[in-house]
Amino acid sequence: MYKSLLNAFVLVIAVTVISDSVSAQRKLAPHRKANHTTITARSGESLANVATRANISATQLAEANGLEVNAKLRKGQRLILPVEEIGEPTKPSGEIIGKRINFTDGGSIDVDEVWRQGDTTWYRTQGTSQGSSRPIRSIENRYKSVVASAPTPVVADSVKKPAAIVSWIYLNDGARLRVDEVRETGDGAWYSRGNLNIFLDKGRIARIDRDDPNAPASEHPSDQTWSSGNTSIDDLIRKHAAGSGIDPYLVFLVIEQESHFHTHIVSPKGAQGLIQLMPGTARRFGVSKPFDASQNIRGGTKYLKELLTMFKGRVDLALASYNAGEGRVLDFGNRVPPFKETQDYVRRISSRYRRKAGNTSTISKS
């Protein structure tokens, strides 16, 4: 009798232990699937720190790895990143045309093929292969769009489709990028071009411009969208350009090219300030403090006005004179001197001025 009771008691304990074990496995099962992406802990990081870096909640990361939310980690420890299980009740029909890689930092990229080799993810786009070590959240199929037939809408002749806003990213080295869309963040900006999504660090960006073709026209079309990023400098440009009787957008372009809006910059040749006045030119136009933004811009706009008057409104010759000196332009028979630096200078500024300001009558090719 005693032996039978003992056996029954042991059996109850065994069933309880097995039940608890199965229950625990069920809780962990959703996070133990193959092909999980991992993230490596850095020195001194806690689980919460890693979760913030991976852009997921600390609770999710803790559950996926069987750890406490406030757990301390050792340097180099690998943690599983939970992958969201997305059902496909409305899975697109049609042929698969490629893959979409979704990164843990929020970016994504559409590719033709993708494969892994060690810790590196390789992908091919338009015949070009490239490797990436960025942590990946998921990889999904891309399907050929199936457009349902629909009645053709009747559109009145007077209704025009709004033109798309054009975005430009200007870099500190003088280059610029035309992009489809740009989203600014605290550390920089994400931009998309075609099927690429790329991040630019804030330190590389001079400014971002958006040209809206649907914006109402103003008296000075070139004055709509330009900005140095500094309201005080913008106001000084407008004030002194108006005082000298020239387009503020032209002054803006010259300052951008000369100094990228750095007030205390000095060139290797000794030109000073925002609009880069040589000491002799500064004295000639009454600029006693070349690093004072107001005096510097005032002197530069007066000099530009004098050059425009000298060359009868020819913006290209005024710009060439500003870069190389009016004596060089006169020496070459009122033509842009054949110096690469000067020709590049004139081309960069005048092409932007012509396109945005519409002042084609004052810009000639020489």
Give the residue ranges of DSSP H helices in 68-227. none
Q: Which two tokens stand for residue 302?
A: 């007066």
DSSP state of 246: S
The residues facing 111 across adjacent strands are 99
Closest CA to 207 of 245, 261, 162, 244: 261
Catalytic residues: 258
Cα 124 to Cα 114: distance, rounded to the nearest angstrom? 7
Q: H-helix or E-strand containing 115?
A: strand 113-117
Cα 316 to Cα 26: distance, rounded to the nearest angstrom? 75
Orientation angle between helical segments 231-244 and 293-310, nearest 10 degrees: 40
Angle at 148 between CA 144 and CA 150, to 5 degrees: 145
Cα 75 to Cα 290: distance, rounded to the nearest angstrom? 53
Cβ atoms within 10 A of the Cβ of 325, count?
Answer: 15
Q: H-helix or E-strand containing 199?
A: strand 196-201
Burial 330-356 (b: 16+ CB within 10 A, else e): eeeeeebbeeeebbebbebbbebbbeb
Q: Report the Cα 353 to chain-centroid distance in Å.
A: 24
| Residues across the chain | 366
What is the phi/psi pair of residue 342, to 5°?
A: -70, -45
Contact indicator for 353, 363 with CB cutoff of 8 Å: yes
Cα 263 to Cα 259: distance, rounded to the nearest angstrom? 8
